[in-house]
Amino acid sequence: MDWRDVTVYVNGDEYTKTIPVQMTLAEFLRDELFLTGTKIGCNEGECGACTVILDGVAVNSCLVLAVHADGKNVLTIEGVSEGELHPLQQAFLDAGAVQCGFCTPGMIMTAKALLDRDPAPSREVIRKEIEGNLCRCTGYNRIIDAVEKAALMLQKR
Amino acid sequence: MLPAFKLLEPNTIEEACRIALDTDGMFLAGATDIFVAMHGGALFPETLISLAKIDALRDIRKTDQGIFIGALTPHRYFEFNQVMKTRYTAIHEGCAQVGSPQIRNRGTIGGNLCNGAPSADSAGPLLVFDAVCVIVGAAYERTLPLREFYLGPKKTALRKGELLKSIYLPEPVSRSASRYIKFTRRNAMDLALLGVSAYLALDDSGGIADARLALTTAGPTPIRAGEAERRLIGHKPCDSLFSEAAAIAENESLPRTSWRSSKEFRLKLVKSLTEKALREAFERI
């Protein structure tokens, strides 16, 4: 097997590990760092449950090699709260946007990447942005409500 | 984990081409196609040649006549860039409909073309802008119109040891506009059942000075509908002309039946979507 040393900055912490090149970033987060908030659903980029923010943009961590995160910043669901719940997390709870919860971490990371770029997106923009995140429970409307709510909370800050 | 492979990470284009000549390695760009096939057990490459460290493949350079766009430029660039939105609208529309934001952040324009899929969302729009491929080998560079790049399904004109370095897009003339229509069964995360790209340019008297049409998933490769284009050039734009051209485009296409759609349905789509794409491109001028 082909092994490499990598240093990845996850949620602000530095981690150095020796890993096989075929390990995905999703597996690195879950199995090496035990950050199991990031979920693996389809493992082929369809469902978005493994979405994390890599150097500022949302990616499917199942389609990124962990070695390609070497030297980069990764933000996962474990890193979004700042002492108290992040407005997105609070809004998801308030709006009833969480049912089984499996899609929620990925959904929140996609929404965070959107709000970081566009602090006041329309419902249409939100709907389009979460096109790569499947939810089989909510019917999406409450998720869109939650992202709108979070955008307002963040604007008031 | 992905099936085991050996990972090579060259720092320069020359090095990448030399490795490709000397090994059976496969180039790896955004990985959004290759890893899906590997996760699914459909692909087991022994060696992957990652292009991630080659910054020269991300260069975007404007010239007086057009723009060179590095092969590693992600779809997201075409989705947000103002020049793409306003001057190369069909390319913007194509790239904004690839997969999902997560896929568009990783997937690259070069990968979309080199993968050779007849359904590639960037291919049709690039064809109507007369895109040119800049191809590099270990010690040379050559250019090839995108029209000649596709040889068959999953087959391109790239020879062993060659790499797509960038795409050149000539500047569109001032009274022109374009439109890409992708027909899918659902609004997201789907491949095109059929894609139609149209580009129209008008002369001073309002006649059609230039017309270009491209069809995706309407044959073994993305194609230009040359006969339909010739029917349009030199005439006044109107619905009946667009309808005639669309009927010619239908005759020029060679779709097949797949699990996504029957050949017959695809032919009907060519006709109706070509009409619509021409009309909507014209309305944008």
- Spans of all domains in chain A: 3-79, 87-156
Q: Which amino acid is at B90?
A: A
Answer whether A132 sits within 8 Å of B103, measured CB to CB: yes
- Other CB atoms within a 10 A radius of the CB of residue B53 amount to 13
From CA B136, how far away is CA B115, in angstroms rounded?
17
Q: What residues of A are in contact with residue B2 (Cβ under 8 Å)?
A: 22-24
Question: What string of H, E and C letters represents the secondary structure of B61-82?
Answer: EECCCEEEEECCCEHHHHHHCH
Alpha-carbon Rg for chain B, nearest whole angstrom, is 19
Whether residue B62 is predicted with pLDDT greater than 90 in this model: the reply is yes
Whether residue B133 is predicted with pLDDT greater than 90 in this model: the reply is yes
From CA B69, how far away is CA B114, in angstroms rounded?
15
**pLDDT attached to residue A82:** 84
Share the mean pLDDT of chain B.
97
* Residue B248 φ then ψ, to 5°: -65, -40
C-alpha distance across the termini of chain B, in Å: 50
Chain A stretch 40-69, residues whose beta carbon is closer than 8 A to a beta carbon of chain B:
43-46, 48, 51, 57-60, 62-65, 67-68
DSSP B7: E
Task: Please choose, from the candidates B134, B167, B130, the residue with its C-alpha nearest in 3D space to the C-alpha of residue B147.
Answer: B130
- Percent of chain B clearing pLDDT 90 (strictly above): 97
pLDDT tens track for A48-79? 999 999 999 999 999 999 999 999 999 999 99
3 state DSSP class of B240: helix
**pLDDT attached to residue B242:** 98
Classify the phi-psi angles of A56: left when phi > 0, otherwise alpha if psi is within -120 to 50, otherwise beta.
left
Task: Tell the CATH topology of A3-79.
Answer: Ubiquitin-like (UB roll) (3.10.20)
Answer whether A113 sits within 8 Å of B101, measured CB to CB: yes
Answer whether B5 sits within 8 Å of A22, measured CB to CB: yes
3 state DSSP class of A49: coil
3 state DSSP class of A20: strand
The band of A93, judged by pLDDT with boundaries at 50, 70 and 90, is very high
Q: What residues of B are in contact with residue A110 (Cβ under 8 Å)?
A: 101-102
Q: What residues of B are in contact with residue A23 (Cβ under 8 Å)?
A: 1-2
From CA B95, how far away is CA B69, in angstroms rounded?
14
A109-113, B77-81, B191-195: which range is least confident on average? Answer: B191-195
- Other CB atoms within a 10 A radius of the CB of residue A42 amount to 15
From CA B178, how far away is CA B199, in angstroms rounded?
4
What does the angle CA B217 – CA B218 – CA B221 come to, to the nearest 5 degrees?
65
Residues of chain B within CATH 3.30.465.10 domain(s) are 55-170
**CATH 3.30.465.10 given to domain B55-170:** yes
Task: Please choose, from the candidates B33, B79, B28, the residue with its C-alpha nearest in 3D space to the C-alpha of residue B49.
Answer: B28
Q: What residues of A are in contact with residue B33 (Cβ under 8 Å)?
A: none
* Nearest chain A CA: its distance from B141 CA (Å): 28
Alpha helices by DSSP H, listed for B74-198, are: 75-80, 82-87, 89-95, 101-106, 109-114, 123-128
Q: Are strands B47-50 and B26-28 parallel, antiparallel or unpaired?
A: parallel
| 8 Å CB contact between B50 and B28 | yes
Q: Are strands A13-20 and A3-10 parallel, antiparallel or unpaired?
A: antiparallel
Two structure tokens written together for B112: 């979309």
Nearest neighbour of B105 by CB, restricted to A2, A58, A65: A58
- Percent of chain A clearing pLDDT 90 (strictly above): 97
From CA B55, how far away is CA B72, in angstroms rounded?
9
Q: Which amino acid is at B80?
A: F
Q: What residues of A are in contact with residue B3 (Cβ under 8 Å)?
A: 22
Two structure tokens written together for B15: 């090095």
Whether residue A157 is predicted with pLDDT greater than 90 in this model: the reply is no
The band of B187, judged by pLDDT with boundaries at 50, 70 and 90, is confident
**pLDDT attached to residue B85:** 98
Q: What residues of B are in contact with residue A1 (Cβ under 8 Å)?
A: 4
Alpha-carbon Rg for chain A, nearest whole angstrom, is 15
A87-156 and A3-79 share a CATH fold: no
What is the CATH code of the structural domain delimited by A87-156? 1.10.150.120
From CA B128, how far away is CA B146, in angstroms rounded?
10
Answer whether A131 sits within 8 Å of B100, measured CB to CB: yes
**pLDDT attached to residue B106:** 98
The band of B223, judged by pLDDT with boundaries at 50, 70 and 90, is very high
Task: Tell the CATH topology of B6-50.
Answer: 3.30.43
From CA B182, how far away is CA B93, in angstroms rounded?
9
**pLDDT attached to residue A1:** 85
Answer whether B7 sits within 8 Å of A4, measured CB to CB: yes
pLDDT tens track for B143-163? 999 999 999 999 999 999 999
Nearest neighbour of B7 by CB, restricted to A21, A57, A59: A21
Answer whether B39 sits within 8 Å of A44, measured CB to CB: yes
Q: Which amino acid is at A19?
A: I
Task: Please choose, from the candidates A155, A115, A130, A114, the residue with its C-alpha nearest in 3D space to the C-alpha of residue A49.
Answer: A130
Residues of chain B within CATH 3.30.390.50 domain(s) are 176-284
**pLDDT attached to residue B138:** 86
ipTM computed for the complex: 0.97
| 8 Å CB contact between B230 and B246 | no
Q: Are strands B155-156 and B60-62 parallel, antiparallel or unpaired?
A: unpaired
Answer whether A68 sits within 8 Å of B187, measured CB to CB: no
What is the CATH code of the structural domain delimited by B176-284? 3.30.390.50
Q: What residues of B are in contact with residue A57 (Cβ under 8 Å)?
A: 76, 105
Which of A2, A31, A60, A134 to mutate: most B Cβ within 10 Å?
A60
**pLDDT attached to residue B55:** 97
**pLDDT attached to residue B283:** 98
Answer whether A20 sits within 8 Å of B1, measured CB to CB: yes
Answer whether A43 sits within 8 Å of B39, measured CB to CB: yes
**pLDDT attached to residue A53:** 98
Q: Which residues of B touch A (CB under 8 A)?
A: 1-7, 31-32, 35-36, 39-40, 50, 52, 76, 99-103, 105-106, 187-189
Average pLDDT over residues B245-263: 95
pLDDT tens track for B46-55? 999 999 999 9
Q: What residues of A are in contact with residue B51 (Cβ under 8 Å)?
A: none
E strand map for B150-260: 150-152, 155-156, 163-170, 176-183, 194-202, 208-216, 223-224
pLDDT tens track for A144-156? 999 999 999 999 9
Sign of torsion, CA B251 B253 B256 B258? negative
From CA B30, how far away is CA B111, in angstroms rounded?
7
